[in-house]
Chain A
């Protein structure tokens, strides 16, 4: 890594960490109903909303009531997004005359945007009307993010409250999150993005006369360029802040209209981790022990920072196959160098690699470079970060409640080691909490590995593959890892806009979201009803470096063991193939011959492996 690589990475981490405390305190005040500026000025509006909706804000809900309210609200979102896509041809704000979206794609997108996954099987600029982008997709970006944060607020209350059977009011948590946290941040951020060149207009596509006439795929001369526009900035702001990640354009934040300059890129990268990181601090404030918040953030950073370093290093080395062709991949003052396939010149390797790690450790899933074209190990890192269960930052709210599930597992394991009843923040961790936490840790594995196995065994599944060899398997594994952990990024060569993938990925996303939320709320309810036991000499401290390290190891062992065999079949084999090619001195040999030479397999076995 060069000096500049370190400096860019360092600035990113420092700016992010500086924002954690002020935003963390602000969000804690919002959830506790303490005066914090905006929630005084807009309190009239908030009360008016409750009156219209028939909500009694002071009335708490049991965890089951909370779960039902949440599910009804989310199902309404799924229905509306489905309906708007199917009917968009008849609805206003459709200047490019987009036709109705197919039923399977509409289903997939509806689930995707309700579950905060924001996987995109469709290509935004050629599929959806301006109305669909705003009213269906941008709106769901807010709702799904707020749903995740509401569940977290309820779970935190479980730790604070003593012998109560309620965990807060879902409608209050929802409205406060949208009104006081997500909306103001999005408005400011959207306007900064427009200043950098992100469009915000209701005009139809612009027509430009090309400077040099060119030919289309049929060889016909082409003199014009149609430039797709729309209300882009308002969508991009919330998709970055709410760990949504569903872009306005197909190329997501690699598109110069979604991410125009180094400044827009830097702020979009900060926005990916801003709320998930600050929520750790919110947690510390609300449980009256800020060290607990820092400890969780530290456990995330213990895994995050080495991944950042590894990703930059691997991508900066470039593709060894290109070296033999007289291509210059060295980083100099005049070029970023490295593996530039699928990356934008203005971001180069460093800004792309940082993004790929941030967007997959958080369950954001937006991309500013194409992960499918990363080096084998460069692509392994994002995939593995997703498979860890989206708890290294993770989604807004969902990342931290997932992390707390791992904390419960960790204190349980530690309790077994030292022979004491496990406790966390004064609450006894018993069989019920442990069962729920185990469900939260293990359910995503089921919805990743089983559908992957089905896809590689069926014709419909294999039809989606676009790259030969182990990379094709990686495409499928990445797709279901992404859906089964609500991330939304892809090895985008996978042709997933088919009935098989739209349905299978949709089902994965749905269960991976709600089957984790319900156990999280159940833990909240159970903890809320318990007494707080006083701290004694025998209490395991959960804010020490030892516990931080222990927690990180528990996450790594659960994630690494479950996915190691699958990763070995994809990116690891691919890496070994590449190395065998790299070590071969005879430059006339093909890849197949190189692998045969180094592996001792027969030619037909190697060919079977590669295709």
Chain B
């Protein structure tokens, strides 16, 4: 009974391995590279022949002249070769330290801002590479950036508006702003 199944087992194993482990990924790669080349290569942002990042992968910003993103739990921060969340439990004192640390950094960079701080700005993302923040988190930072860059708040609001991605069909997901793209647009204003 056992031996009768050995030959079909080995041969079907080899055939299915070739079909699902080799032909399938090759076929998908072939079509994807032809039809969606930019996405298949990681949606990279290239300016003047230089790769500045990916529109899907966040970067670390802590300079007051830039919009800041989510806290990243990777080591070092925003390490795109080693994604991870903080995995801190809701009662873990380390979580409170992390939140308090971000709050004091935000206050230090903008002491006059008395608004409540949007929660996504003081918590770490699931991947450690979140490229987005909420609209509230962007608006919270506008006064600081306007002051540091010597721009009017209206000017920055316009750029934030231009970079807002709404919900899919007004329903699915959450409205967000891509931090890297927004900061590149800010830098573009001066040049």
Using a CB–CB cutoff of 8 Å, the interface residues on chain A facing chain B are: 4, 7-8, 11, 49, 52-55, 64-65, 68-69, 72-73, 76-77, 80, 123, 125-126, 134-136, 138-139, 142-143, 171, 174-175, 178-179, 183, 186-187, 190-191, 194-203, 205-212, 214-217, 222, 225-229, 231, 233-235, 237-238, 249-251, 254-257, 260-263, 265-266, 318-319, 321-322, 325-329, 332-348, 350-352, 367-370, 372-376, 466-469, 471, 474, 491-493, 574, 577-578, 591
Contact = CB atoms under 8 A, between A and B. Distances in A.
17 contacts: A53-B7, A135-B21, A135-B22, A142-B20, A179-B19, A191-B35, A201-B41, A206-B44, A208-B44, A214-B77, A251-B85, A254-B125, A261-B173, A262-B168, A336-B174, A341-B124, A370-B85
Q: Please name the 10 residue pairs, one residue from A and one from B, whose CB atoms are nearest each other, closest first.
A: A262-B173, A254-B126, A493-B87, A139-B21, A328-B116, A335-B136, A348-B174, A471-B89, A370-B85, A251-B83
A332 B57 CA distance: 26
Nearest to A250: B83
B176 A345 contact: yes
Contacts of A492: 84-85, 87
A106 B50 CA distance: 39
A64 B33 contact: no
B97 to A, nearest CB: 11
Given A54-B11, A493-B87, A72 B119 contact: no
A227 B81 contact: yes
Interface string B59-77: 1111100100010000111
Contact of B173 (A199, A229, A329, A346): A346
Given A231-B29, A344-B127, A175 B84 contact: no
B119 A256 contact: no
Interface in B1-39: 1-2, 4-13, 15-17, 19-22, 24-25, 27-29, 31-33, 35-36, 39
A217 B10 contact: no
A228 B80 contact: yes
A8 to B, nearest CB: 6
Contacts of B129: 251, 255-256
A211 B187 contact: yes
A178 B16 contact: yes
B89 A372 contact: yes
A376 B90 contact: yes
A345 B132 contact: yes
Contacts of A197: 39, 43, 55-56
Contacts of B62: 212, 214
Contacts of A139: 16-17, 20-21
Contacts of B96: 321
A19 B174 CA distance: 25
A329 to B, nearest CB: 5
A72 B125 CA distance: 42
B12 A53 contact: yes
A328 B123 CA distance: 12
Contacts of B171: 4, 7-8, 11
A68 to B, nearest CB: 6
Given A338-B119, A340-B120, A345 B133 contact: yes
A258 to B, nearest CB: 9
Contacts of A215: 76
A491 B51 contact: no
Contacts of B52: 208-209, 211
A328 B136 contact: yes
Interface of B: 1-2, 4-13, 15-17, 19-22, 24-25, 27-29, 31-33, 35-36, 39-45, 50-63, 66, 70, 75-93, 95-96, 99-100, 103, 115-120, 122-137, 139, 165, 167-168, 171-176, 180, 183-184, 187
Nearest to B43: A197
Given A135-B21, A208-B53, A321-B96, A200 B32 contact: yes
A153 B2 CA distance: 22
B40 A200 contact: yes
Given A69-B8, A255-B129, A210 B53 contact: yes
A337 B120 CA distance: 7
Given A194-B28, A251-B128, 6 more contacts: A178-B20, A191-B28, A229-B41, A234-B25, A322-B119, A493-B87
Given A343-B126, A348-B174, A257 B57 contact: yes
A81 to B, nearest CB: 11
A321 B120 contact: no
A271 B78 CA distance: 29
B62 to A, nearest CB: 7
Per DSSP, chain B at the interface is: mixed
Contacts of B8: 53-55, 69, 171
B84 to A, nearest CB: 6
A195 B31 CA distance: 11
A194 B40 contact: yes
Given A175-B12, A322-B99, A369 B126 contact: yes
B2 to A, nearest CB: 6
B137 A335 contact: yes
Looking at B87, B118, B131, the one whose CB has the most chain A CB atoms below 10 A away is B87
A217 to B, nearest CB: 5
Given A256-B127, A326-B117, A138 B25 contact: yes
Contact of B120 (A135, A255, A336): A336
Contacts of B119: 318, 322, 327-329, 335, 337-340
B28 to A, nearest CB: 4
B59 A251 contact: no
Given A134-B21, A229-B41, A257-B42, A325 B99 contact: yes
A373 B88 contact: yes
Given A68-B2, A578-B90, A265 B82 contact: no
B11 A195 contact: no
B98 to A, nearest CB: 9
B11 A72 contact: no
B76 A262 contact: no
A560 to B, nearest CB: 24
Nearest to A207: B51
B111 to A, nearest CB: 14
A368 B88 CA distance: 16
Contacts of B116: 326-328
Contacts of B115: 328
A467 B85 CA distance: 14
Nearest to B117: A327
Given A322-B99, A345-B132, A49 B5 contact: no
Given A234-B29, A326-B116, A262 B172 contact: yes
Contacts of A125: 81-83
Contacts of A339: 90, 119
B12 A171 contact: yes
A65 B45 CA distance: 56
A68 B9 CA distance: 10
A143 B135 CA distance: 44
A577 B92 CA distance: 12
Nearest to A321: B96
